[in-house]
Structure 1
C-alpha cells in the first residue's frame, strides 16, 4: 500500500489536533502543543504523553479551601 502525500498530511494534522486537545487535559497550552506537534510530529506528541501533569494554578477568584472549610 502506498501512502499519498495528502493522506500523510491529513494524518499529521489530525495528530496535532488531538495533541492540542490532550494538552488541555494535562493543564497545558493547547495552541502551544498543537504547533509543536504540527512541526515536530510524533516526537512532540510522545513528550506530551510521557511528561508530568502540570498542577493547576491557583484561581484568585476562588476562596481558599482552608478558608471555606472554617
Structure 2
C-alpha cells in the first residue's frame, strides 16, 4: 500500500461534503460520515432527495438505521476474521472504524425510536 488510498478517501469525503451542501444538508456531518463509510455515503447523498429550505425535518426510519448498523457489524466481524488469519494489522484499523460506525448507527437507531418527530399539520 503506497499511502494514496488515504488521500483518495479524504478527497471523496470533501467531494461528498460539497454534494451534501448542494442538497441543503450539513457539510460537516456528511464529511464525517464519508470518512467512515466512503462510497456508500456518496450513494446515499446522490440517491436521497434534496431537502427544501424551511421544510419540516424528516426522520430516518429506525429500521434503516438498524440495517446499516447490522451491515457495519458484519463488516467488522469479517475484517477481524481476516486480520486474525492473515496477520495484516491494517485490517484491525478497518475493524475498529466499522465498529465505531456500528455504534454510531445503533445509537442513532435507539434515539430515533425514543424521540419520534411530532406529526406535521
Q: 1:36 aligns with which of 10, 30, 33?
A: 33
Please report the RMSD computed on the Cα atoms of aligned residues, expressed in angstroms: 1.3
Q: TM-score, normalised by structure 2?
A: 0.43
Question: What's the offset of the Cα at 1:22?
Answer: 1.1
Q: 1:54 aligns with which of 51, 63, 76?
A: 51
Distance 1:20 1:57 in 2: 21
Q: Which has the higher helix share?
A: 2
Q: Which has the higher contact order (CA 8 A, sep 6+)?
A: 1
Q: Partner of 1:7 in structure 2?
A: 4
Distance 1:19 1:33 in 2: 7
Q: 1:45 aligns with which of 38, 42, 47?
A: 42
Unaligned runs of 5+ in 2: 56-121
Question: What's the offset of the Cα at 1:23?
Answer: 0.6
Distance 2:54 2:28 in 1: 18
Q: Which consecutive aligned stretches of 4+ in structure 1 deviate over 3 angstroms post-superposition? A: none
Deviation per CA, 1:15-35: give whole Å up to 9, x if none: 000100111110000000000
